[in-house]
Amino acid sequence: MDNNKVENPKVEVPSTPEMNDRDYLNDVLECEKNISNNLATAISEASHQALFQDIFDMFTESKNSARQLYNLMFQKGWYCLEKAEATKVTQKMNELSQKLTELPQ
């Protein structure tokens, strides 16, 4: 394992032209991300409270599904993250803290 990566050991899948479990999960995760991004726009533009609530419920369900897919893929080692350098994290926190102080009270 790379020291700069946060990952689990990979569950091996067949290397064939046909889609495997990893490919299917990755495809569904990408779909859920796109669906929730589109629903976020629809939430902002809902003209009626009942419509807003229906779309918001779909958005929440989509985000929960995406999280479950991510967790499964991460558990199987099919999704990995890079560790952020401490200096970059501190720099970003300082930038956001500064922006927060600039917001009107």
In 10 A of CB 30, how many CB atoms?
12
- Which is nearest to 37 in space by CA: 54, 59, 57? 59
What does pLDDT average to in each consecutive run of 10 residues of the chain (105 residues)? 79 91 95 96 96 97 96 94 88 92 85
Q: Coil, helix or strand for 84?
A: coil
- Is residue 95 situated within a structural domain? yes
When divided into structural domains, the chain yields a total of 1
- Which is nearest to 36 in space by CA: 15, 12, 67? 67
Q: In this predicted structure, what is the pLDDT of residue 104?
A: 83
Residue 11, phi then psi, degrees to nearest 5: -85, 120
> Domain limits at 44?
20-102
- Is residue 12 situated within a structural domain? no
The contacts of residue 5 (CB under 8 Å, 6+ apart) are 80, 81, 82, 83
